[in-house]
Amino acid sequence: MEHAPLSPASLRFLKMHGLGNDFVIIDARSGENPVTPALARALGDRHRGVGFDQLAVILPAKGADFTLEFWNSDGSKAGACGNATRCVSDLMMRDLGREAVTLFTERGQLSACRRADGLVSVNMGAPILDAKAIPVLADPMALPRAGAPVAVGMGNPHCIYFVEDAEAVDVAGLGPQIEHDPLFPARTNVEFAALVAPDHLRMRVWERGAGITLACGSGTCATAVAAHLKGLTGRHVIVDVDGGRLEIDWREDGVWMTGPTATVFEATLSPAFLASL
């Protein structure tokens, strides 16, 4: 991606997705960060803007190749976004002519690489299991709610329900209720997962600040961690989401997530659109 200076009259962006989890990506390494809550909301509108599940801003970094900042389509900040991290890492590896990169997010320094099969892997860091750090106002492994959900942090809070049939869950109805449950002072992402085999899960997701998405990287990682902690799976699992398949490997150095990425288009926001904000 070219690193031309950004100005109120000209703002280039890239559209990418990982398993249908779609992102607008703005490269602000060579200029000021242009993103505000108003711009994030306007860009996130699928009818009057561009549309995205998350907005990722590439920023400079000291001690790493780049920094990533994440926004939801409702104009709120996101602490982590695994599939966007994989997409931008793919972009930056191609840009830098390398097969591995390091980056900073709110989670600290992370690493990503391209596997021999072309899929992109990112180390999402260690799971957060402390209630205060998630944050959740109860024991994360014994939440006082019907269905025995589990809370896990992966930069974002996640509330994971294990169900018999993920396809039968009313995600649109239950998701927003659970997102705003008083147990979660910062709201929460919500995952519904069914065990297919000891190394295989089926998961559907409601994302905090975004709604139903076809995939959620941090949510897939959190679900895999929760499944292992509950004794349902090992530490290496395949997770089928609405948009495809992700591979999760909870290693000693963190939770690694692997899957495909896709670049859709690059474009420039019109001066009239920017002036209307």
Q: Which member of 87, 159, 216, 221 is catalytic?
A: 216
For 47: left if phi > 0, alpha if psi spans -120 to 50, otherwise beta; the answer is alpha
Residue 218 labelled as part of a binding site: yes
Residue 123 labelled as part of a binding site: no
3-class secondary-structure state, position 95:
helix
Mark whether 216 is an active-site residue.
yes
Cα(184)–Cα(109) distance, rounded to whole angstroms? 26
Q: Which member of 81, 87, 159, 221 is catalytic?
A: 81
Residue 72 labelled as part of a binding site: yes
3-class secondary-structure state, position 134:
coil
The structure tokens listed for 246 are 């992700």
Residue 234 labelled as part of a binding site: no
The structure tokens listed for 160 are 């994971």
For residue 135, is the peptide bond before it cis, meaning its omega torsion is within 30 degrees of 0?
Answer: yes
Q: CB neighbours (10 Å) of residue 217? A: 30
Residue with tokens 């106002």: 137
Residue 18 labelled as part of a binding site: no
Residue 172 identity (one-letter amino acid):
A
149-179 as b/e: b if 16+ CB within 10 A: bbbbbbbbbbbbbbbeebeebebeeebeebb
Q: Tell how far CA 233 is from the center of its chain.
A: 22
Mark whether 81 is an active-site residue.
yes
- CB neighbours of 49 closer than 8 A, spacing ≥ 6? 42, 43, 273
Residue 99 labelled as part of a binding site: no
Residue 73 labelled as part of a binding site: no
Cα(100)–Cα(86) distance, rounded to whole angstroms? 11
Cα dist from 73 to 10, 32, 161, 173, whole Å = 21, 21, 24, 19
Q: Which residues are catalytic?
A: 81, 216
Q: What residue numbers does the annotated binding site for substrate cover?
A: 21, 54, 72, 82-83, 156, 189, 207-208, 217-218
